């Protein structure tokens, strides 16, 4: 399956643009802090896409599960974007793995909002992750509008790359994903590789799969002077800084960075006085079972003096951390895209990333960063050590990183997604209620 990611979809005719979209992010709220719990790249995707769609004139209602008693029923995220909290199950203490039992309640909450308005409030349902897809499937059929779905991650892909401390995704998720793929009118994949996985692993119809790469906020994520950035985040001006940003869980493999750090120091003991490794994020998923395991690993390997554990920071502060780093390290075992890679590169900091999934699209190997096959800490130490020893190569990659990331603005992503909505409306299997069907 070959697609040109640089060429947006061209709608056959602009007769039925979407006016209002029901965006479903059931298991994680766009208001949550990315980098901890279940909040990550999906949250950023939903927020940024919704904002840019609203700027194009498409109103967006984001439905998510209420997790606190003090949450308002409706929150304005941005002009034209509302976050609607649906009550389903206990407000606190309910894990993502428990949500399948609440899908009926979640669907009822979503349907109740539309029922309070005149028929035809929504033109399209756009669901994110399989749990939202299950709810979206019912809502789209009830409202007689198209269902557009973005997987973000897939059980069958993750189960091919399960790490030693992780657990496989359950069969119930696999079955649920197959159902959503079959029900969706259009599927949005982040990369060509993800599109192929949908076809090969889930038997998706290639004609209903569109590739739209995520974006980056190029106004927020931009280079800052390194010395000033280091002063603001508390890093030494003369340090060699390696940065990990993301949820601390086996899937993201931060242990590979810690083990590679130990290997680097074993090879070059003199590096210890200069090296600073920052792990920025909080425990999530399987990482919640042993939240101190990475700290313990650093201590066991004798690198706890150079590894700094930083809690998740607000997104407006992240560009300072990227700009302060010499390299951003992304050793994930699976990634549907890798927004951290694009954010880092937009700040002019090259990336050392695993050669997996969407990272092969998010990083231009040898131009904006380096891709490392496998997860052997020895190989990672070699790749990182070579770059640390070559300031000139790091500078060249940093310049290439900024150029490469400039092609991933969210405005372009939103325009392409709006085109997908138009295709879905034109090709809808049933008449749209909004069109009087």
Distance CA(69)–CA(92), nearest Å, equals 9
What per-residue confidence (pLDDT) applies to 393?
Answer: 98
Instruction: Indicate the CATH number for domain 20-215+411-425.
Output: 3.40.50.2000
* E strand intervals along 347-404: 351-354, 369-372
Least confident of 108-122, 242-256, 288-302: 288-302
Mean pLDDT for the stretch of residues 413-430: 89
What per-residue confidence (pLDDT) applies to 16?
Answer: 67
DSSP conformation class of 168: P
Single out the residue of 27, 25, 44 nearest to residue 315, CA to CA. 44
Please tell me whether 158 is known to bind a ligand: no
Please tell me whether 122 is known to bind a ligand: no
Domain ranges of the chain: 20-215+411-425, 226-407
Distance CA(130)–CA(149), nearest Å, equals 8
Categorize the per-residue pLDDT at 163 as very low, low, confident or very high, splitting at 50, 70 and 90.
confident
pLDDT tops 80 at residue 164? no
SS3 287: helix
Please tell me whether 252 is known to bind a ligand: yes
Please tell me whether 173 is known to bind a ligand: yes
Please tell me whether 139 is known to bind a ligand: no
What per-residue confidence (pLDDT) applies to 98?
Answer: 83
pLDDT tops 50 at residue 437? no
What per-residue confidence (pLDDT) applies to 78?
Answer: 96
What per-residue confidence (pLDDT) applies to 285?
Answer: 56
Same fold, 20-215+411-425 and 226-407: yes
Single out the residue of 206, 202, 154 nearest to residue 179, CA to CA. 202
Query: C-alpha distances in angstroms, 244 versus 256, 309, 391?
Result: 11, 10, 20
Distance CA(89)–CA(101), nearest Å, equals 9
Please tell me whether 41 is known to bind a ligand: yes
- At residue 292, what are phi and psi to the nearest 5 degrees? -100, 10
- At residue 246, what are phi and psi to the nearest 5 degrees? 150, 180
DSSP string of 293-317? HHHHHHHHTT-TTTEEEE----TTT
Please tell me whether 256 is known to bind a ligand: no
What per-residue confidence (pLDDT) applies to 2?
Answer: 38
Please tell me whether 313 is known to bind a ligand: yes
pLDDT tops 90 at residue 291? no
Please tell me whether 224 is known to bind a ligand: no
Categorize the per-residue pLDDT at 179 as very low, low, confident or very high, splitting at 50, 70 and 90.
very high
Instruction: Tell the residue number behind the tokens 């603005």, with chain if given.
Output: 409
Please tell me whether 399 is known to bind a ligand: no
What global pTM score does this model have? Answer: 0.86
Please tell me whether 190 is known to bind a ligand: no
Model confidence pLDDT, tens digit, residues 139-155: 999 999 999 999 999 99
What per-residue confidence (pLDDT) applies to 286?
Answer: 52
Instruction: Indicate the CATH number for domain 226-407.
Output: 3.40.50.2000
* E strand intervals along 136-217: 147-150, 186-189, 209-211
Model confidence pLDDT, tens digit, residues 235-288: 999 999 999 999 898 989 999 999 999 999 999 999 999 999 999 998 865 545
Instruction: Tell the residue number behind the tokens 């906020």, with chain if given.
Output: 217
- At residue 127, what are phi and psi to the nearest 5 degrees? -105, 150
Model confidence pLDDT, tens digit, residues 30-75: 888 776 566 778 999 999 999 999 999 999 999 999 988 888 999 9
pLDDT tops 90 at residue 15? no
Mean pLDDT for the stretch of residues 318-344: 95
Please tell me whether 34 is known to bind a ligand: yes
SS3 424: helix
Bridge partners (DSSP) of residue 128 are: 150
């Amino acid at each position: 399956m070959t697609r040109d990611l640089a060429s947006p979809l061209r709608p056959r005719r602009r007769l039925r643009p979407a006016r209002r979209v029901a965006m479903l992010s059931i298991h994680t709220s766009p208001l949550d802090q990315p980098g901890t719990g279940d909040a990550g790249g999906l949250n950023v995707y939903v927020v940024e896409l919704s904002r840019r769609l609203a700027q194009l004139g498409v109103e967006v209602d984001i439905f998510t599960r209420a997790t606190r008693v003090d949450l308002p029923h409706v929150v304005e995220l941005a002009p034209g974007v509302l976050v609607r909290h649906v009550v389903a199950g206990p407000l606190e203490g309910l894990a993502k793995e428990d949500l399948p039992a609440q899908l009926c309640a979640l669907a009822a909450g979503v349907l109740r909002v539309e029922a309070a308005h005149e028929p035809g409030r929504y033109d399209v349902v756009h669901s994110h992750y399989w749990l939202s897809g299950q709810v979206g499937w019912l809502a789209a059929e009830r409202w007689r509008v198209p269902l557009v779905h973005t997987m973000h991650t897939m059980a069958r892909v993750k189960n091919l790359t399960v790490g030693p401390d992780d657990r496989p995704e359950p069969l119930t998720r696999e079955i649920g994903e197959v159902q959503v793929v079959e029900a969706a009118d259009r599927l949005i994949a982040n990369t060509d590789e993800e599109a192929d996985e949908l076809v090969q692993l889930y038997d998706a119809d290639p004609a209903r799969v569109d590739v739209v790469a995520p974006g980056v906020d190029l106004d927020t994520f931009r280079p800052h002077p390194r010395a000033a950035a280091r002063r603001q985040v508390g890093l030494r001006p003369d340090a060699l800084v390696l940065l990990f940003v993301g949820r601390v869980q086996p899937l993201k493999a931060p242990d590979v960075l810690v083990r590679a750090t130990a290997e680097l120091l074993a090879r070059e003991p003199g590096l210890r006085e200069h090296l600073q490794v920052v792990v920025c994020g909080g425990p999530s998923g399987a990482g919640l079972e042993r939240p101190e395991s990475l700290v313990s690993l650093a201590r066991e390997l004798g690198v706890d003096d150079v590894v700094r554990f930083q809690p998740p920071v607000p997104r407006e502060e992240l560009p300072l951390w990227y700009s302060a780093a010499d390299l951003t390290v992304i050793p994930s075992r699976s990634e549907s895209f890798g927004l951290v890679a694009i954010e880092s590169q937009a700040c002019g900091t090259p990336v050392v990333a695993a050669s997996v999934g969407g990272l092969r699209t998010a990083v231009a190997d040898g131009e904006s960063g380096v891709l490392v096959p496998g997860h052997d800490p020895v190989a990672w130490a070699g790749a990182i050590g070579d770059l640390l020893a070559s300031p000139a190569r790091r500078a060249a990659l940093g310049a290439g990183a900024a150029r490469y990331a400039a092609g991933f603005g969210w405005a372009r992503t939103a325009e392409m997604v709006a085109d997908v909505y138009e295709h879905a409306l034109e090709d809808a299997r049933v008449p749209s209620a909004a069109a009087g069907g």
